[in-house]
């Protein structure tokens, strides 16, 4: 398999991005992409040279200053001032993995030949990507409307030897790193600053990163839920295919099928039951987990369209001889999708915590709090508290950001998406879901030990045997936070080792 990905106009899939990132591939421009970039730049240079008509963002000011004309000898200063003045991000640093995705997605968008950038500018962004020179970007500052202005300004600063980068594990001055590599700063030409700053690459990078992780967690929710079903002595009938074919939601059918597969051959699931029904948190797993899967499908479609799009402004159409100022930078589609993703993933945590609660409640022959000698041992009492706390936090985070708006730029930008806030909130929600599912696995594995000598399915028993090498049966009270941390690490490693990165 080639270790170099060719940037082109071919439809970009999220699975392709996953492979580029996880296989640490380098990237380069295709001949077609180079031709499109150069053609657009030549057209723009010709347009500026031959006419004095104001063109927004090219020879005018920005935002509410759009009517201020700029002389030709000030166009480079205009673009560099734009990058510097808009670098107003604050808060935590954006994770390096997401910054690298931002770089890739900005390169991809510029490669279509509708942005008017210099070839050397795109090539320098590619050099940053290939050498893992990652600009320091901050989580706060974008309204998700005129593009992700502040985050993308920080992404662009190192091009002009400003700002900071992460290089070889250290945060360093971009100027020092460029000097070390003997790279000259890019001299920005007309429109380039705007092309770099307008766009949705902050929101898009978060969305891509989170979708890949959410598919992993969706799989784990089904697997860990299946362990809980057997640990709770649950019934298999609610997962019968006939039940789901008469309410044929795709995600619901897939979830039921997967759980039947996980439990196939289990002695526990096949034994005679004293109870007629299970609580909803077990019986309705296909309906709840399945609805989240259907949401993932919807969000995938939104982000697939976005990562194959031109989202800066104005858009340049060479063959039609048009330069049009529009609104492709507005993040509303992403804001709504990220809010939907927040809600859907929060529900995986909500139902998971309810299964954990049932497991520690002393029902169906399991000891109270899943430990011998309860009283002197608190056992698994408090991990459920932790899960409940995180679930409640997720409910707060899942409140839609996209229903909010605030006026900016002196009234010119009078409706904003708040998609960047939705993105960072979704990042927190998804991290929380991983912890909630880890707590359920910790409890379900412990509960299964009380079901011996009966066995679960071969697959589940193998999974739990592997898990037990990291977190063995808890005989008496110990420091539990380490067990939760170890469980989270086990889940991550299990997915990578079993090539389940994009289920």
In the block, which residue shows the tokens 């912890």?
435
Q: Report the 3 state secondary structure along 182-236.
A: CCCCCCCCCCHHHHHHCCCHHHHHHHHHHHHHHHHHHHHHHHHHHHHHHHCCCCC
Read off the tokens for 139: 């989580």
Active site residue 56: yes
Rounded to an integer, what distance in angstroms lies between the CA atom of residue 242 and that of residue 255? 13
Rounded to an integer, what distance in angstroms lies between the CA atom of residue 82 and that of residue 87? 9
Measured between alpha carbons, how far is residue 177 from residues 89, 184, 316 in Å?
A: 21, 11, 33
* Burial track 329-364 (b if 16+ CB lie within 10 A, e otherwise): bbbbbbbbbbbbbbbbbbbbbbbbbbbbbbbbeeeb
Find all residues with CB under 8 Å of 23, minimum gap 6, and list them: 1, 3
Find all residues with CB under 8 Å of 71, minimum gap 6, and list them: none
Read off the tokens for 317: 């159409």
- Residue 104 backbone phi and psi in degrees, to 5: -60, -45
Q: Are strands 26-29 and 315-317 parallel, antiparallel or unpaired?
A: unpaired
Q: How many CB atoms lie within 10 A of CB 158?
A: 27
Q: CA triplet 72, 75, 77: central angle to 5 degrees? A: 135
Query: Please, which residues bridge with residue 171 across strands?
Result: 166
Rounded to an integer, what distance in angstroms lies between the CA atom of residue 221 and that of residue 458? 19
Read off the tokens for 335: 């804001």
Rounded to an integer, what distance in angstroms lies between the CA atom of residue 446 and that of residue 440? 10
From the list 43, 56, 340, 467, the catalytic residue is 56
Q: Give Dmax (Cα) for the chain.
A: 88
User: Which residues does the annotation mark as catalytic?
Assistant: 56
């Amino acid at each position: 398999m080639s270790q170099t990905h060719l940037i082109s106009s071919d439809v970009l899939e999220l699975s392709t991005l996953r492979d580029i990132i996880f296989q640490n591939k380098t990237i380069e421009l295709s001949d077609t992409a180079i031709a499109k970039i150069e053609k657009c730049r030549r057209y723009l240079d010709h347009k500026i040279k031959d006419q004095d008509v104001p063109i927004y963002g090219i020879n005018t000011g920005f935002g509410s200053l759009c009517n201020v004309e700029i002389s030709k000898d000030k166009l480079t200063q205009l673009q560099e001032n734009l990058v510097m003045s808009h670098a107003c991000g604050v808060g935590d640093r954006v994770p390096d993995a997401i910054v690298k995705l931002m770089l890739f997605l900005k390169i991809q968008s510029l490669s279509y030949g509708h942005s008017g950038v210099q070839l050397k500018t795109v090539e320098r962004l590619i050099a940053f990507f290939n050498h893992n020179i990652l600009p320091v970007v901050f989580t706060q500052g974008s309204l998700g409307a005129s593009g992700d202005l502040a985050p993308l300004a920080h992404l662009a600063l190192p091009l002009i030897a400003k700002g900071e980068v992460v290089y070889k594990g250290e945060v360093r001055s971009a100027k020092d790193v460029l000097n070390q590599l003997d790279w000259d700063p890019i001299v920005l030409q007309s429109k380039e600053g705007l092309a770099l700053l307008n766009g949705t690459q902050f929101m898009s990078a978060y969305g891509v990163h989170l979708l890949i992780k959410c598919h992993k967690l969706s799989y784990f929710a089904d697997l860990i839920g299946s362990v809980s079903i057997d640990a709770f002595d649950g019934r298999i009938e609610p997962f019968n295919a006939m039940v789901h074919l008469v309410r044929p939601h795709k995600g619901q059918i897939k979830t039921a099928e997967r759980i039947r597969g996980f439990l196939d051959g289990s002695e526990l699931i096949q034994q005679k039951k004293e109870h007629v029904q299970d609580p909803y948190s077990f019986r309705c797993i296909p309906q709840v987990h399945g609805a989240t899967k259907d949401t993932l499908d919807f969000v995938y479609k939104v982000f697939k369209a976005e990562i194959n799009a031109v989202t800066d402004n104005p858009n340049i159409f060479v063959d039609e001889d048009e330069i049009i100022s529009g609104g492709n930078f507005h993040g509303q589609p992403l804001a709504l999708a990220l809010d939907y993703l927040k809600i859907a993933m929060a529900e995986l945590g909500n139902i998971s915590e309810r299964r954990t609660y049932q497991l520690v409640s002393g029902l169906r022959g399991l000891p109270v709090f899943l430990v011998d000698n309860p009283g002197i041992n608190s056992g698994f009492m408090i991990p459920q508290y932790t899960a409940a706390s995180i679930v409640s936090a997720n409910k707060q985070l899942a409140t839609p950001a996209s229903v909010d708006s605030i006026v900016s730029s002196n009234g010119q930008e009078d409706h904003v998406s708040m998609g960047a806030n939705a993105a960072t909130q979704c990042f927190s929600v998804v991290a929380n879901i991983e912890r909630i599912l880890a707590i359920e696995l910790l409890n379900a594995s412990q509960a299964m030990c009380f079901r011996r000598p009966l066995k679960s399915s071969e697959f589940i028993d193998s999974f739990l045997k592997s898990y037990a090498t990291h977190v063995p049966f808890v005989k008496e009270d110990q420091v539990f936070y380490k067990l939760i941390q170890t469980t989270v690490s086990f889940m991550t490693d299990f997915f990578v080792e079993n090539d389940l990165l994009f289920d």
